[in-house]
Amino acid sequence: MRTSNKNEDLKILENKLNYTFRNKSFLKNSLTHSSYANEKNLGIINSNERLEFLGDAILNLIVSQYLYKKYPNHSEGELTKIRAKVVCESSLAYVAREIGVGDYLLLGKGEESTGGRNRESILADTTEAIIGAVYMDSDFKETNKQLLDRFEDNIVKAVEKGELFSDYKTELQEKYQRSPNSKIEYHIFKEEGPEHNKIFYMNVFLNENLLGSGKGRNKKEAEQMAAKSALFLLGKNNE
Helix axis angle, 7-17 to 89-99, nearest 10°: 120
Which of 29, 195, 51, 30 has its CA nearest to residue 112? 195
Distance of CA 92 to the CA centre of its chain: 4
Residues labelled catalytic: 56, 128
219 CB burial (10 A radius; 0-12, 13-18, 19+): middle
Give the helix/strand (H/E) hosting 26: helix 24-30
Are the C-beta atoms of residues 36 and 107 closer than 8 Å to each other? yes
